Amino acid sequence: MNELSLFSFAPAQEPKLMNPLVLAYIGDAFYEMFIRQFVVSQPNQRPNHLHRQSTRYVSAKAQSKALTRLLPLLTEDERYMVKRGRNAKSGTSAKNADILEYRHSTAFECLVGYLYYTKQLERLHELLMITIEPQHAES
């Protein structure tokens, strides 16, 4: 992977010190791109199908479930970032999820953003691949 293409702009501060909602902001974008690449790699290329497939993974409910699966695999440092993301007060609410799912989704995105900005790309890839295992996708 060409690091230059992924990191055109470094964050303004050390990732561990960043606001967890800022990490979730970039984590949301990164995960969305990951999932879009995944669904485009599948045989059915109809745009409506691509969108439906993507939302099976990127919804607050699906991300909350993904986090639940990942928790036993996380390091102490990763769990700390999840806790920060879960406890962050966003001031917004989810459209199609309850508050607990929304907070867990934010925690998941915070973890993704943290791993992205700390350039732990192999670890990030390892964890994200678990979220797309067929038996885990939300139906």
Average pLDDT score, the chain: 89
* Domains held by the chain: number: 1
Domain residues for 98? 16-136
Indicate whether 2 belongs to any domain: no
CA distance 81 to 53: 28
CA distance 95 to 41: 29
Q: For residue 86, what is the domain's CATH number? A: 1.10.1520.10
Indicate whether 4 belongs to any domain: no
pLDDT attached to residue 20: 97
Q: Token pair for residue 127?
A: 């964890």
Indicate whether 107 belongs to any domain: yes
pLDDT attached to residue 1: 46
CA distance 112 to 31: 7
The set of catalytic residues is: 28
pLDDT attached to residue 93: 66
pLDDT attached to residue 94: 67
pLDDT attached to residue 6: 65
Q: Produce one character per residue of 46-57: b if its CB has 16 or more CB atoms within 10 Å, e if not.
A: eeeebeebbeeb
Q: What is the mean pLDDT of each run of 10 residues along the chain (139 residues)?
A: 64 93 96 96 87 92 96 98 92 75 95 96 97 66
pLDDT attached to residue 8: 78
